[in-house]
Amino acid sequence: MKICGIRRIEDALAAAEYGADAVGFLVGQKHASPDFVDPDDAAAMVAALPPHIDSVLVTHLAEPDEIVRLANTTGVSAIQLHGDTSPDQATEIKQRVAQLKTYQAIHVVDAQSIDTARQYTTVDALVLDTLDATTDQVGGTGRTHDWAISRQIVEQLPIPVILAGGLTPDNVAAAIRQVRPYGVDVNSGTKGPDGYKDHTELKRFIDNAKS
């Protein structure tokens, strides 16, 4: 279970305390999002995390050189490719940082998304998310997608699949029952009115997912 869009260390530590397996830091922006942080700030938060929790670089960048450099700068244990990375680029990144876990985001739009997902099986896992073309947001949209398609991807692909996109404390249990993913990933569904993590909702999400 990953809590994404972390911008304050207190939110990362709360996620770890409540039972999250990973936290995500958005660095390297090309599309709309309020959650990006500076590489140095991300590195400071990564360094302050307890050792049992994975730190994930979530980036819109696509070029392997840029991404590998960011991963080294921030000191993360995993990379989530959430931009326009091609299958060949994803494979190259995985080969160059073999010690890190590498995830590829797939936007579930229609049945064609299943074929798209098949092209990225050289990474360690896929993250199924929702695209909002009206706002140029490629993640953190707060919108769900067709979970029936996500279930097909889970059933048909040989690598782990993580479900994201519009998950909240109230719908995460139903999503897990329908899709049967390897894990879940949340950003906007655990935010408070100030844009940072609401610790009550954060705990409720993790508890409901684990139950």
| DSSP structure class, residue 162 | E
* 132 given a catalytic annotation: yes
Cα–Cα distances (Å) from 106 to 3, 30, 122, 129, 163, in that order, read 18, 17, 14, 6, 10
Looking at 21, 54, 132, 146, which residue is catalytic? 132
Q: Tokens 């954060």 appear where?
A: 202
Cα–Cα distances (Å) from 36 to 58, 86, 128, in that order, read 9, 22, 20
Looking at 4, 35, 129, 198, which residue is catalytic? 4
What is the rounded distance in angstroms from the CA atom of residue 75 to the CA atom of residue 94?
Answer: 16
For residue 3, the cross-strand partners are: 23, 186
DSSP string, 33-78: -S-B--HHHHHHHHHTS-TTSEEEEEE----HHHHHHHHHHHT-SE
DSSP string, 183-207: EEEESGGGB-TTSSB-HHHHHHHHH
* 21 given a catalytic annotation: no
Enclosing H/E stretch for 22: strand 22-26
Q: What residues act catalytically? A: 4, 132
